[in-house]
Chains A and B, each alone.
Chain A
Amino acid sequence: MAFVPPVRHLLRAKDLADRRYADAIAVDDLARVAGLSRAHFSREFRRAFGESPHAYLLTRRLERAAALLRTTDRTVAEICFAVGLASVGSFTSSFTRAFGLSPTRYRAAFPPARAHAFVPACVWRAYGRPQHSTNGEDGGPAPA
């Protein structure tokens, strides 16, 4: 069997953070994928990637949360849960520390999500058309 460099196991853990940030995963899960004890894993991860696995997982989640704040109109709480965090309070403080603005103010600093969403003209035409109501004025049958 080919020799697998030890850092490959750390990368596997990092990939798991990128892929599964939306689930309630934690550093223990990353350590398990790498096949290392938690303390050893944290040390090795930091040596390989320059930051702790906890910091990596958290900033991955915060990056996704920032994107959702810019591109969706979901509430801050919904976004917090959508990126795998369980406490809105800690999410808000982590986010504020990372971006210098609270989630709400961060969102307000960008154009509203609908400006990004490019809801196309065909949708506006089709969905903006009111339901026709016939009151006899166009010669159609009047409602009973």
Chain B
Amino acid sequence: MIRIATAQIWVHDQEEALAFYTQKLGFEVRADVTLPELGDFRWLTVGPPGQEDVSVVLMAIPGPPVMDAETAEQVRTLMGKGFAGTVFLTTDDCRASYEELRARGVEFTETPEERPYGIDAGFRDPSGNTFRLTQLAEELVSA
């Protein structure tokens, strides 16, 4: 059986991302390892408490020789424009999660709204990556 274990998103600054994902979003650090033999490459993963087998890699945009300067700049630009990636989260209570995250300083781009598929809201991480926070309609959850 194939399962999703880890997906990667680019971040502008790993420390800033770490603070956001743990302190504001409430995720846990799953791995934080720096490898001197890979030019101090830092493998930093986070995930939601209670969902131990799924994590997100917070990946710094590398320089040469991994990525040439022009490509790195393109990735940075796309990220800043909000087109570098999206994470779709689900919650059992979108309005409560919205209030909780907002109280912790998450800036929402969309407040909770009724949709055909449930209720959802949207926010961004400090790098500009898009998040959707969805409470699926009951008929979709039980399906």
Q: Do A and B bind each other?
A: yes
Return B25 CB to nearest CB of chain A, in Å. 11
B31 pairs with A117, CB closer than 8 A: yes
B26 at the interface (CB under 8 A from A): yes
A126-B32 contact, Cβ under 8 Å, with A18-B49, A22-B22, A119-B43: no
> B17-45: contact bitstring with A at CB < 8 Å (1 yes, 0 no)?
00000110010111111110111010101
A128 pairs with B37, CB closer than 8 A: yes
A51 at the interface (CB under 8 A from B): no
A34 at the interface (CB under 8 A from B): no
Return B97 CB to nearest CB of chain A, in Å. 12
CA A114 to CA B38, docked complex, whole Å:
12
A2 at the interface (CB under 8 A from B): no
B65 at the interface (CB under 8 A from A): yes
> Which residues from chain A contact B49 at a C-beta distance below 8 Å?
18
A126-B66 contact, Cβ under 8 Å, with A114-B35, A119-B35: yes
> Which of A23, A64, A123, A128 contacts B43, CB < 8 Å?
A123
CA A126 to CA B43, docked complex, whole Å:
13
B33 pairs with A72, CB closer than 8 A: yes
A32 at the interface (CB under 8 A from B): no
> Which residues from chain A contact B32 at a C-beta distance below 8 Å?
68, 71-74, 113
B39 pairs with A68, CB closer than 8 A: no
> Which residues from chain B contact A73 at a C-beta distance below 8 Å?
32-34
**Which A residues from 82 to 129 make CB contacts under 8 A with B?**
82, 113-114, 116-119, 123-124, 126-129
Return B65 CB to nearest CB of chain A, in Å. 5
Return B89 CB to nearest CB of chain A, in Å. 16
B31 pairs with A72, CB closer than 8 A: yes
CA A18 to CA B100, docked complex, whole Å:
14
CA A130 to CA B33, docked complex, whole Å:
20
Return B28 CB to nearest CB of chain A, in Å. 7
A132 pairs with B65, CB closer than 8 A: yes
B29 pairs with A129, CB closer than 8 A: no
Return A26 CB to nearest CB of chain B, in Å. 17
Please provide the 8 A-B residue pairs with the shortest distance between their CB atoms, ordered closest to farther: A72-B32, A127-B38, A117-B31, A117-B33, A127-B41, A119-B43, A126-B66, A114-B33
